[in-house]
Amino acid sequence: MAQPTVIAGTKLLILVGDGASPEVFAEPCGLTTKSFNLTASTNTTLIPDCDDPEAPAWEAKDVNSLAAQVSGSGVMAVESYAKWNDWFMSAAARNAQIKLDNAGLGHYAGSFILTSLKLTGTRGQKVTVDVTLDNDQAVTWVDAA
């Protein structure tokens, strides 16, 4: 049996643009868990059996929309606080890239809104942060150069 090529969890990067020209992308410090989720909302139509109308109908699906969501959690690094806070308080979209670093696979790119910024403090532990980014427009796949 051949072993698959796998990627370390730390290689999933959430890179946030600085809005400059040319735009520079960097990962905010502190996130220890990250996820990227692509979803499709669908409409359902029942397709009846013309020969046997009593038979269960099959569902046909049509894609209505596509969406992308990025989330991350970890320690609230002081070095990243201003970036997260300024982004949320601006209520503006920023460009972001989601990349599997050093895998040679390319990356997803799009405009995202920081829709959730949650800070949690527990006695005897460090302050943690949870962030959620939702796409603002189309997200595209960019092949590795």
Poorest-confidence range of 2-6, 116-120, 138-142? 2-6
Report how far apart the first and last C-alpha atoms of the chain are (Å, whole number).
32
- Cα gap 83→134, rounded to integer Å: 17
- Residue 145: pLDDT band (50, 70, 90) is confident
How much is the pLDDT for 102? Answer: 80
In the predicted model, what is the mean pLDDT of residues 9-20?
95
Q: Is 72 exposed, middle or buried (0-12, 13-18, 19+ CB in 10 A)?
A: buried
Q: Where are the domains of the chain?
A: 9-40+67-142
The whole-angstrom separation of Cα 21 and Cα 92 is: 17
Range 9-40+67-142 classified under CATH 2.30.110.20: yes
